[in-house]
Structure 1
Amino acid sequence: MTAKVLQQFDSQLLLKIINTLKDPIWIIEKNGNVLWVNQAADDFFSFSELIGQNVFKMEKQGLFAPSIARLVIEKKGFISTTQITQTNVHLLVSGDYIPDENGDIQYIVTHARQLSQAINQSSELEKVESILQLYKQQIRQLILEKNQQEEDFYVGKSKAMQNISAWSQKISDIDTTILLTGETGVGKTAIAYRIHQLSSRNNKPFIHLDCGAIPETLIESELFGYKKGAFTGANVNGKLGLITAADQGILFLDEIGEFPLHLQSKLLQFLQNKTYRMIGDNLAQQADVRIIAATNVNLMERIKEGTFRKDLFYRLNILPMEIPPLRERKEDIIPLLNFYLSKFNQKYGRQHTLSKNLMDTLYNYTWDGNIRELENLIERLVITSAGPKIDIDDLPSDFPLRQSQQMLLQNVEEVSLPFYLEQIEISILIKTYNETNSTWKTAKKLGVSQSYIIRRLKKFNLRISGKELVKM
């Protein structure tokens, strides 16, 4: 419960929490300048102001030795050792770094604890490393929040998105397989990448393989690689596979439901013991790779059809995460519209806005293609719209809403205006009721009374069948 609550805290509250810890915590730039320390560090060291000091200079001045930040930079990895201060106090100090997008050192985090003869140093080292890993993950989360405008999928504010964000952080450093499920375009790739960024593997490769986009005859060589002369037409030097390329990092197997049946046993073997054989090689290779898989199909149905192995499914489905479609988290639609409008305005040097009428229309649209469909539509509108304000009339002629509108307009000459308006009203009533499943909610959404809605349903011979409103 505590971890779940912590994941919802904002950056300021998180820093306040770290500030209550009794052990000194330092956050340092790669050049040695102190960015932030908690109150315990301020109380322990006799300086009026630690922030802004340079730890390399402090080490040369004999204030403590050695500098953990310097050792982290030299090793480019986790360090835990004893440190002696100017006042002859012995500390157990650990340090590690937060990488930038290129894997280089961006920030260094150190944690200190005073040693005593009663402390079992080996168990203490494990405890300190565990604590430091938690701090690193929280700081990685703060960095992601700071750059959230670059995280396309995480613009949404719905409860579903908050739960997904919290779950992603919770499982990011649990080194086991994840299976992401959901319709096409809901953002499974973005979630996989976010888990990679939050994990301790974030400075290692993130390799994306779309299993549905590669011919079945080539996927084995792409994934596992092959030795020199393994088959006719092979590269004379052989080829390393994507598993080798992803060593120490994450391999994202997108559309895993399309993975060839005859290769599934080979993938299962790798998931079980982290070993595999290149094509044409009798020796087993090893690779430390975390697998994230994704699919938009029902794998249990594929198992019944005999096209997917049940044992592979259970090996992949250790940490399942289902991503709901955009129509089930409508609170995310307006933020996503604004995000992509701003993104493509900047990309193409435009200053377009969306009319309220268009925003309302797109809010109520079903978005069968989910975020990918929304992104593509906004990019197209920004490119093709002439005026500064984009309205419904600017929708592409092949967009479903526009096609429905055009079909009605084409029939106007053949029917009376009252009949035409009735058809529009019926369409609105059916769509709104099927979204709300309530006459009261339908009335509230359309700005009329519930009795008015009931009268219109009766007039147009609309009946509730199951959970849907239909024309009888």
Structure 2
Amino acid sequence: MTAKILQQFDGQLLLKIINTLKDPIWIIDNQGNVLWVNQAAYDFFSALQVDELVGQNVIEMEKRGLFTPSIARLVIEQKQFVSTTQVTQNNVHLLVSSDYIPDEKGDIQYIVTHARQLSQVINQSSELEKIESILQLYKQQIRQLILQQKNQQYEDFYVGKSKVSLHLIEWSQKVADIDTTILLTGETGVGKTAFAYSIHQLSSRNNKPFIHLDCGAIPESLIESELFGYKKGAFTGANANGKLGLIAAADQGTLFLDEIGEFPLHLQSKLLQFLQNKTYRMIGDNQVQQADVRIIAATNVNIMERVKEGTFRKDLYYRLNILPMEIPPLRERKEDIIPLLNFYLKKFNQKYGRQHTLSKNIMDALYNYSWDGNIRELENLMERLVITSAGPKIDIDDLPSDFPLHQSQQMLFQNVEEVSLPIYLEQIEKNILIKAYNDTNSTWKTAKKLGVSQSYIIRRLKKFNLKIREKELVEE
């Protein structure tokens, strides 16, 4: 039946049918040359003062800045279906999809491209998500755009441009709608809270509560009532009307259990029961309550060590550790430092009505600083510099007197007259070696960073009596 119906349609009639669509449609050859576009494409690109599209080459149009990226170019390069966001010269965001029609050998013969303004997709997202045929990529990109447009306190997570940060963002997009427990690990200040919030915002729970409980900041005696709540008259001093816990408050949303390693041992079985069955009992209540809550936990300690010590249940650890992710410290993703410095400089300039800039000297110095306090330390320092610096350009002299980098700069010169020049220079070289090795954890990488041979580095380590202890270079 289908074949008989199609026989009634010639090529011109099919093109007329496509021409009635309100979304731009392009037909392109395997070299990127435009063979045909529908009327909607003409209408849209008239705003860019492109009078004739047929005969144009989309790769050349991309080079001219009319739009980026060229999705046809991506199909030619990847030889597969591609769907992504595209930005035009007049800053219109499009959601574009493209696939190819193969020839007899399976090579690309024609490319068909479809576009739609992303703002229209966002407005229709609630309806689109009900349709099973809408690609998961559409939902992720819509939520990503919404998240970036929101004015919220966790936007610094998306400042990172290093491979590590981009991998973390990609991972968060993959796991956002996988409704199971996530365990985030990493040092204090690396951005675990921001990462947890981004996962919540990318998930289908993004319009429901995101509740943050710091397990290390609440007295052990109060955690049970804070988390599970209590009934009226449950204990002396309780609220006369009872209290709903954070689990109830997070129903349909996400509960972020920060510093989970500090969670009291005697309550861990109760938390495990909730993770397994989504059920719990309020204090003083025999009735079982139920809540649909996604749990994200985080810790800066080694939970397995706590398990060995007997202060953390092994079964709870395995239940939390279904989707683990370690967020590396800032010193291991140095490509993020400069973007973060600029981000917080702009943020605090706007907050305090300043117009400060950073000198190259302080940018270089802060780039090479170890940042033991990670992003939190960087943020606090930038706020302090913006508030206290007198001149328009912030330089090394503006660093607080108690900041380690400032102290090390002063120490280089304060006792130079008390020792001979060779001893003084050796001390400087030793400090440089320790810093370079602790940044790279490799004698080969240290040599490459300092522009010398690996054998030279090894000889200097022996001369200065420096030893490697637990991946750090220390002085014996």
Q: Specify if TM > 0.5.
A: yes
Quote how far apart the aligned CAs of 1:138 are.
2.6
User: Per the alignment, in what secondary structure is the counterpart of residue 138 of structure 2?
Assistant: helix
The residue number in structure 2 matching 1:380 is 384
Deviates more, 1:392-401 or 1:317-326: 392-401
Tell me: CA distance 1:461–1:468, structure 2 relative to 1, closer, same or farther (3 Å).
farther
Tell me: CA distance 1:368–1:9, structure 2 relative to 1, closer, same or farther (3 Å).
farther
Q: Percent identity?
A: 77
What stretches of structure 1 of length at least 5 have no aligned partner?
22-37, 43-49, 54-96, 99-105, 113-124
Q: List aligned pairs for 1:253-264, cutoff 5 A.
A: 253-264=257-268
Q: Which amino acid aligns with 2:134?
A: I
The residue number in structure 1 matching 2:138 is 135
Contact 1:148 1:154 in 2 (8 A): no
Quote how far apart the aligned CAs of 1:153 are.
1.4
The residue number in structure 2 matching 1:60 is none
TM-score of the superposition, structure 2-length normalised?
0.71
Q: Give me the CA root mean square deviation.
A: 3.6
Counterpart check, 1:241 vs 2:245: yes
Alignment counterpart, residue 275 of structure 2, candidates 271, 275, 281 = 271
Tell me: CA distance 1:426–1:197, structure 2 relative to 1, closer, same or farther (3 Å).
same
Quote how far apart the aligned CAs of 1:420 are.
3.1
Alignment counterpart, residue 397 of structure 1, candidates 388, 394, 401 = 401
Tell me: CA distance 1:391–1:460, structure 2 relative to 1, closer, same or farther (3 Å).
farther
Deviations 1:48-76 (A, max 9, x none): xx9999xxxxxxxxxxxxxxxxxxxxxxx
Once residues 437 and 258 of structure 1 are traced to their aligned partners in structure 2, the CA distance between those partners, rounded to angstroms, is 31
Q: Which amino acid aligns with 1:346?
A: Q
Residue correspondences, number = 379
Once residues 263 and 437 of structure 1 are traced to their aligned partners in structure 2, the CA distance between those partners, rounded to angstroms, is 40
The residue number in structure 1 matching 2:463 is 461
Deviations 1:127-161 (A, max 9, x none): x4363665323311233355699711121111111
Contact 2:444 2:454 in 1 (8 A): no
Q: Which amino acid aligns with 1:143?
A: I
The residue number in structure 1 matching 2:362 is 358
Contact 2:330 2:371 in 1 (8 A): yes
Once residues 461 and 137 of structure 2 are traced to their aligned partners in structure 1, the CA distance between those partners, rounded to angstroms, is 63
Deviates more, 1:368-377 or 1:8-17: 8-17
Alignment counterpart, residue 286 of structure 2, candidates 282, 286, 292 = 282
Q: List aligned pairs for 1:154-169, cutoff 5 A.
A: 154-169=158-173
Counterpart check, 1:368 vs 2:372: yes
Contact 2:443 2:457 in 1 (8 A): no
Once residues 187 and 196 of structure 2 are traced to their aligned partners in structure 1, the CA distance between those partners, rounded to angstroms, is 15
The residue number in structure 1 matching 2:97 is 18
Counterpart check, 1:214 vs 2:210: no
Once residues 441 and 312 of structure 1 are traced to their aligned partners in structure 2, the CA distance between those partners, rounded to angstroms, is 40
Tell me: CA distance 1:304–1:385, structure 2 relative to 1, closer, same or farther (3 Å).
same
Alignment counterpart, residue 327 of structure 2, candidates 323, 329, 332 = 323
Alignment counterpart, residue 178 of structure 1, candidates 175, 182, 190 = 182
TM-score of the superposition, structure 1-length normalised?
0.71
Alignment counterpart, residue 297 of structure 1, candidates 293, 296, 301 = 301
Tell me: CA distance 1:392–1:282, structure 2 relative to 1, closer, same or farther (3 Å).
same
User: Per the alignment, in what secondary structure is the counterpart of residue 287 of structure 2?
Assistant: coil
Tell me: CA distance 1:40–1:376, structure 2 relative to 1, closer, same or farther (3 Å).
closer
Quote how far apart the aligned CAs of 1:391 are.
1.4
Q: Which amino acid aligns with 2:268?
A: Q
Q: Which amino acid aligns with 1:352?
A: H
Quote how far apart the aligned CAs of 1:457 are.
5.6
Contact 1:345 1:351 in 2 (8 A): yes
Quote how far apart the aligned CAs of 1:388 are.
1.3
Alignment counterpart, residue 223 of structure 1, candidates 227, 234, 259 = 227
The residue number in structure 1 matching 2:315 is 311
The residue number in structure 2 matching 1:84 is none
Q: Which amino acid aligns with 1:137?
A: Q
Q: Which amino acid aligns with 2:238?
A: A
Once residues 11 and 321 of structure 1 are traced to their aligned partners in structure 2, the CA distance between those partners, rounded to angstroms, is 27
Tell me: CA distance 1:458–1:185, structure 2 relative to 1, closer, same or farther (3 Å).
closer
What stretches of structure 2 of length at least 5 have no aligned partner?
1-77, 88-92, 101-111
